Structure 1
Amino acid sequence: MFARFATARKAVTRIVATKLLALALLGLVAACDTTTMVGGGPTINPSKPVRVALLVPKGSGQGGDAILAQSLENAARLAIADLQNVQIDLRVYDTKGNAATAATVATQAADEGAQIILGPVYAEAANAAGLAVAGRQINVLSFSNNTSIAGGNVFVLGPTFLNTAQRLSTFAARQGKRNVVVIHSTNVAGQAGKAAIEQALAHAGLNEAGAVGHALSQQGVIASIPAIRDTVAATGADSIFLTATTAGALPLFSQLLPEAGVSPTTVQYIGLTRWDVPTQTLALPGVQGGWFAMPDPVMSDQFRSRYATAYGGAPHPIGGLAYDGIAAIGALVGAGKSNALTSAALTQNAGFKGVGGIFRLRSDGTNERGLAVAMIQNKQVVVIDPAPASFSGAGF
């Protein structure tokens, strides 16, 4: 996920990929005898089973990882069952949640004929898996949302800060908002969120009226309140855009900012993260009227219902990413083209339909998702701008 960062991946990818490709051309790297490698991915026979390697964090010793691993596998198998006229040979590999094992099992999967890799979850593991098979020209659809590892043969399926920030900034501009103060934590995730918001504001034509950072602690939040209040007052800001999460600083901000005079009735609160989870957040006075983005709630509810019927419980919050990966692979293979798993095919502009709505992969390895904009009103989530049904809709 986001907290694990790779170092200088893109430059390393180019170097390692070049060396591994040279070996492959010399016949020193084994390849499946039914797969011929071409630029950007393998050629396949779409009438035969496509071998997909699913890399999950099972075996790490962390209970949460075991639950996540099972949910990802369940969701992938649910997606396979939904495919028509497409055969998927799914092979599951355990990464133990670490990069070294991820590289080892990615190599093993390639040796065993994998034509595409789905997973792993954590950024360092996905980075390592991508490097391990770069010379084999096998694409990796990771479950990470860390865009620092994206590029080359690695794509991230997790929702990104920039995608969310752009959706909300574009919506805010359409509602007449003009001056926005960015409030961010000073840790790595907060700085990444700040950068995404700033880029999105500029893209939407909004003015960044100021930025206030805070340490990710109770004392840090409390200390930032006067600066936020004064910045909003001095700039005449009509909105504040927060990176705070419901498990972090948001509850405290929602109490202290209104008390300091930054009222949500006069200043629009906008959140980079989901404000509806857990549901107790909806009762906080300061978030009433606040905006945040979320996947298409109708499609998300349908997936959760189908998952519960099939497996007797709720999916992990990111379990649906495995369904999305299989759905994309199935849609491309189902078109009957031999280049279905190449980078060019994976990044088709029309995108795919996943458990939370439409999504598409970009040539830089990131993704774009069609999100809904929601508002908290009377302690309830109200969708005020539905998720688009296609990438030709508003915001795209």
Structure 2
Amino acid sequence: MFAVLSAARKRLRLPRFARSLAASVGLIALAACEPVQLGDLGGGGGQRIDTSQPVPVALLIPKSDAGAGAVARALENAARLAVADLGTVRIDLRVYDTAGNAATAAAQAQKAVDAGAKIILGPLFGEAANAVGVQVADDNVNVLSFSNNPSIAGGNVFVLGATFRNTANRLMGFAAEQGKQTVTVVYPNNVEGQFGKAAIEAAAGTSGIQVVASEGFDFSQQGVIAAMPRISAAARQSDAVFLTSNAAGALPLLVQLLPENGIGPDTTQYIGLGRWDVPAQTLALPGVQGGWFALPDQSRTASFTSRYQAAYGSAPHPLAGLGFDGIAAIGALVGAGKSDALTARALTQTSGFQGTGGVFRLLPDGTNERALAVATVRGNKVVILDPAPNRFGRAGF
């Protein structure tokens, strides 16, 4: 069970890895360089390849970073699993250690390009990806980063990580289909919360839903308690409450206090920007019952997990699929046998690619769109309300 109201009123804490990602987002939000445009304005920037030879691909991961080494191993394992799936398509995967450092990542990227890399897969952290993009821009090389930070996307840098905007779009579109017209956004006053708030507000505008209020709170238990009168007052005027917090943050406390303040899930639709099935014990919280959240195609995720476990003897890290997806996209394009397979125009093909969580595609602005299912919680179990689309072009996708 979650101990959400401790006497000490401790500050809410994220796991170390999540904190380091959030810190990277904060640095980029303040100091990111402008995305560097490659090639012609039609999106043709990027290296040409010799289709008769193996294509050199550089994988940049933080292998020697004590806090992210396990993620790095999982990304490499998944990438190699994808390479093995490519059949006659030949990828020469070359691995470079960024040590979790932006300057090191930039130096390694240049080393990789000097050695012939035609495209870069990685790095993991947003600040490092930004540095790599700037470093190799004049070499006309595209970067498929594992980051989910949209502020670094654009030009020669694409982000493979799931973005808040993609999730918000899916959930707001579904809410509109269910007749929801108004929403209150609830978010912590930190970088992650600000990104989530902005994504939800933009998605609401696209879906025709009115944002009644966006209510922030200091990122502590006392901060949530102090903000609850404002949050509940706004929520009483709304069809739905959209929470940016996940189980590692304020979600358990919010879904406890909202009903205590007259905003119950039986009268107001709760919507979550984060995964409410991770960790699994979140599903036992009374306040999340009936709430909506988004998740990838679970059959495809389960298939990838099974294959990874059979190959490496353990379950994959939650981010491992990004390594597989990056190679799958590169391999699909190279397999078409065209010399411009790794240009921006090719990478952003509208049909997209098949990934570990379903179909996804890279967008011209450097962000991505991923197929997501909409789920709810019933009886402490996940129930799919609207399956993930299996192709692009369906209404609302």
Distance 2:109 2:161 in 1: 20
**Cα displacement (A) at 1:11:** 2.9
Offset of 1:298 from its aligned partner?
A: 0.6
**How far does the alpha carbon of each residue in 1:305-329 deviate from its partner, in whole angstroms, 9 at most, with x for none?**
1100000001111011010000000
The answer to whether the 8 A contact 1:180-1:209 is kept is yes
**Does 2:54 align with 1:49?**
yes
- Equivalent runs, 1:4-153 vs 2, <5 Å: 4=24, 5-6=27-28, 7=30, 9-11=32-34, 13=36, 39-62=44-67, 65-153=68-156
Structure 2 CA distance, aligned partners of 1:101 and 1:165? 34
Distance 1:349 1:70 in 2: 31
State whether residues 35 and 155 of structure 2, in contact with CA within 8 Å, keep that contact through their aligned partners in structure 1. no
Change (3 A) 1:8 1:171: same
Q: How many residues align?
A: 372
Residue equivalent to 2:199? 196
Q: Which amino acid aligns with 2:140?
A: Q
The residue that corresponds to 1:31 in the other structure is none
Deviation at 1:9, TM superposition (A): 3.7
Instruction: Note the residue ranges of structure 1 that are not aligned, 5 or more in a row.
Output: 22-37
Q: How does 1:225-244 map to 2 (within 5 A)?
A: 225-233=228-236, 235=237, 237-244=238-245
Partner residue, 1:220:
223
Partner Cα distance (1:280, 1:319) in 2: 22
The whole-number CA distance in structure 2 between the counterparts of 1:293 and 1:257 is 21
Cα shift readout 1:125-156 (whole Å, capped 9, x = no counterpart): 11111111100111000000001100110000
Following superposition, the deviation at residue 263 of structure 1 comes to: 0.6
- Report the Cα distance in structure 1 between the residues aligned to 2:35 and 2:295, rounded to whole angstroms: 34
CA contact (8 A) 1:2 1:122 kept: no
Write out per-residue CA displacement over residues 65-96 of structure 1, whole angstroms, 9 at most, x where no aligned residue: 11111100000000011112200000000000
The answer on whether the counterparts of 2:186 and 2:242 sit within 8 Å (CA) in structure 1 is yes
Instruction: Indicate the residue corresponding to 2:322 in structure 1.
Output: 321
Report the CA distance between 1:160 and its aligned residue. 0.3
> Which 10-residue stretch deviates more, 95-104 or 386-395?
386-395
Q: 1:3 pairs with 23, 29, 50, which one?
A: 23
Match of 1:34 in 2: none
Matches of 1:61 and 1:80, distance apart in 2: 27
Task: Provide the C-alpha distance between the structure 2 equivalents of 1:138 and 1:196, rounded to a whole number of angstroms.
Answer: 29
**Do the aligned residues in 2 keep the contact of 1:257 with 1:263 (CA within 8 Å)?**
yes
After superposition, the CA RMSD in angstroms is: 1.5
C-alpha distance in 1 between matches for 2:290 and 2:110: 50
Q: CA deviation at 1:224?
A: 1.4
| % same residue | 60
Which residue of the partner structure matches residue 334 of structure 2?
333
Pairwise CA distance, 1:245: 1.1
Q: Separation in 2 of the partners of 1:221 and 1:288?
A: 21
Superposition deviation, residue 394 in structure 1? 3.0
Name the CA shift for 1:139/1:12 in 2 (closer, same or farther; >3 Å): closer
Change (3 A) 1:12 1:318: closer
* CA shift digits 1:192-248 (9 cap, x unpaired): 110100000010000111111111100011111111111122x2x110001011101
CA distance in 2, matches of 1:83, 1:266: 50
- The code of the aligned residue for 1:115 comes to K
Distance (Å, rounded) in 1 between the aligned partners of 2:31 and 2:363: 20
Take 2:293 and 2:143, find their aligned partners in 1: how far apart are those partners?
Answer: 30
- The equivalent residue for 1:289 is 290
What is the CA-CA distance between 1:13 and the residue it aligns to?
3.2
Do 2:348 and 2:361's aligned partners in 1 also have CA atoms closer than 8 Å? yes
Q: Give 3-state SS (helix, strand or coil) of 1:103's partner.
A: helix
Note if contact 1:201-1:208 (Cα within 8 Å) is conserved in structure 2.
yes
- Looking at structure 2, the residues matched to 149 and 12 of structure 1 have their Cα atoms a distance apart, in angstroms, of 7
Taking a change above 3 Å as real, the CA distance of residues 12 and 325 of structure 1, as seen in their structure-2 partners, is closer
* C-alpha contact 1:47 1:86 (8 A) present in aligned 2: no
8 Å CA contact 1:44–1:339 kept in 2: the answer is yes
Q: Residue 89 of structure 2 aligns to a residue in which SS?
A: coil
Relative distance call for 1:147 and 1:2 in structure 2 (3 A) is farther
Counterpart position of 2:16: none
Between 134-143 and 224-233, report the one with greater CA deviation. Answer: 224-233
Distance in 2, matches of 1:59 and 1:84, equals 31
Distance 2:303 2:122 in 1: 23
SS in 1 for 2:270: strand
Equivalent runs, 1:372-387 vs 2, <5 Å: 372-387=373-388
Residue 39 of structure 1: CA displacement? 4.5
1-structure distance, mates of 2:191, 2:324: 29
TM-score by length of 2: 0.91
Contact 1:388 1:394 in 2 (8 A): no
8 A Cα contact 1:270 1:290, kept in partner: yes
Alpha-carbon offset, residue 12 of structure 1? 6.5
The alignment partner of 1:375 has SS state of strand
Q: Secondary structure at the match of 1:317?
A: coil
Q: Show CA shifts across 1:84-119 (max 9, x none).
A: 220000000000001010001000000111000000
Number of the residue aligned with 1:26: none
**8 Å contact from structure 2 (residues 35, 152) kept in 1:** no
Q: What is the aligned partner in structure 2 of residue 32 from structure 1?
A: none
Give, in angstroms, the shift of residue 10 of structure 1.
4.9
